[in-house]
Amino acid sequence: MLLSVLETLLIALLGGFLFSYLHTPLPWMLGALTTVLLWNFLLKRKVCWPGKFANIGQIIIGYTIGRTFTQETCQQIMTQLPIMLIVTIVTVIFSLLLGYITHKRTGISVESGLIGSIPGGLSQTAVLCAEVPGSDITIVTVMQTARLLSVIFVVPFLAIHGLGYGSLTPTAVSTISTATSILMPVSQKILISGLVILSAILAHRLGMPTPFLLGAVIGTASIGLYGLKLPSLLQYWLDGAQLCIGAYTGARINLGNLSNWRKILPYTLLGVIGLIFCSIGIAFLLMHFHHISLVTAFLSTAPGGMAEMGLTGMMLQADLSVIVAFQLFRLLFILMVLPPVLKWWLARNTANKRRNKQKCG
């Protein structure tokens, strides 16, 4: 166990250094993910990365994101709730349409096609599979894995080198990475760290989605809104957090189990491209009508996760509070609203098919 963890750590570090040398977006996360994934798939080496390390990485990212919340940004988010609902509904309906097309063209069940196309995480869609009868967890895993890898690699690159107009300059990086650490007693820093970690653990106990990230965001934002100045983190903390998340994601994905990928992969990738273009279109509308930057709007609506989009937003000095608010709203909508709506629609569709068969008979 320990040797496997150390081996995985070395491979993840190698990937991080390599992707940093190549100046790719999110180098420590994508580098660790890629090398760990290939090490396991091509060389058949056993990789192991404890989930606790990934949780620590999410807490660090959550703290950094939570520092950006102020009373002004919270008021801005409250005024944007209607547009969040509209954007989320449009994105989800477009995703479901793509899933329905995949179902028609490949012959997989309509339940699997719909859930496999939803822009959620692997763990969230696994919950949906349990909620919706008729869905195939293997097919959903194939589609979500392809979507996850595509989004993680494509969206940051597009945001930085496309919509960001190459805005990742050395000045921008140094602004993010240098510590403007506020002078405060060590005991106060320990207290802040303890409160943030406690918030993450409490969110996990309450069963919240992505609890360690979201709990840390809520805890940090609460401390900041209370009026306490929060120190920033050195860049190596963020690099380590990226590595922890990337190595864990790469270790979880087993490409050898995706036996029927040839049939589904082309439609899944086309669906991801379509969804990204849909997000770009929505982002342009948000930029013009709500006066937020194009990069912030795109990362807010992109079909990725809060951690990945938040990290990319940090690199581009985007408005992290808006990004997290949009991403969180969509995630909660998918987890809380979508399952009963899907079950109702699928039950109605099944009943209509039975009535049609009875008429034909």
- The per-residue pLDDT for range 265-291, each reduced to its tens digit, is 888 888 889 999 999 999 999 998 888
pLDDT of amino acid 259 = 60
pLDDT of residue 255: 67
Burial class (CB in 10 A: 0-12, 13-18, 19+), 145: buried
Cβ atoms 200, 212 nearer than 8 A? yes
- The upper half-sphere exposure of residue 276, i.e. CA atoms within 13 Å in the direction of its Cβ, equals 21
Give the whole-angstrom CA distance, residue 230 versus residue 233.
10
Low-confidence ranges of the chain (pLDDT < 70): 120-128, 130-131, 137-138, 164-184, 254-261, 360-361
**Of the candidates 150, 136, 185, the residue with the CA atom closest to the CA atom of residue 265:** 150
Fold of 2-353: Na+/H+ antiporter like fold (1.20.1530)
In contact, 229 and 187? CB cutoff 8 Å: no
> pLDDT digits over 301-346, tens only?
998 777 778 888 888 888 888 888 898 888 878 877 887 788 788 7
Classify 80 as helix, strand or coil: coil
Distances (CA, A) of 70 to 75, 164, 184, 185, 228: 9, 25, 20, 23, 11
- The CA distance from 10 to 8, in Å, is 5
